[in-house]
Amino acid sequence: MLGSLRSALLCFVLCASTGPALAGASQTPIDYTPDPALRTASRSDLEARIGKACRVTQAKLQQTEESKFSRACGCYASRSLRSLDEAELLFYREKGYFNDGARAKALAALDACRLQRPF
């Protein structure tokens, strides 16, 4: 149960900029259609989207302004994206959230960049 909740919340961090609804015990957002622009977005655009979702989530978690997380979320977005293999990146582009392997790498990036885990 904790693993499912952790996965759902991490997915929220990564998908928050597109506004999906999440199921508390599911790894997959419900009523979520990934942005078609993800399929052709450049790596820098993907990094910017991940960073924005991080800033929004961290600001909510820590009840402060998004701007306080620019550097740390930049670190997180960069590390997360660099760590993905081609299959994980393709999954993200198609689905709009990280698969299990990428999710583990994203958690490691949260820790490395000293960000609060969303659970």
- Give the pLDDT of residue 42: 97
Every domain of the chain and the residues it spans: 2-112
Portion of the chain with pLDDT greater than 90, in percent: 71
| 43-59 pLDDT, tens digit each | 999 999 999 999 999 99
Element (H, E) at 35: none
φ/ψ (deg, to 5) at 69: -110, 15
pLDDT category at 27 given cuts 50, 70, 90 is: low
End-to-end C-alpha distance for the chain, whole angstroms: 12
**pLDDT score at 73:** 98
Per the prediction, the chain carries an average pLDDT of 82
Per-residue pLDDT reduced to its tens digit, 99-117: 999 999 999 999 999 999 9
> 43-62 and 70-83 helices cross at what angle (nearest 10)?
130
Distance from C-alpha of 88 to C-alpha of 103, rounded to nearest angstrom: 9
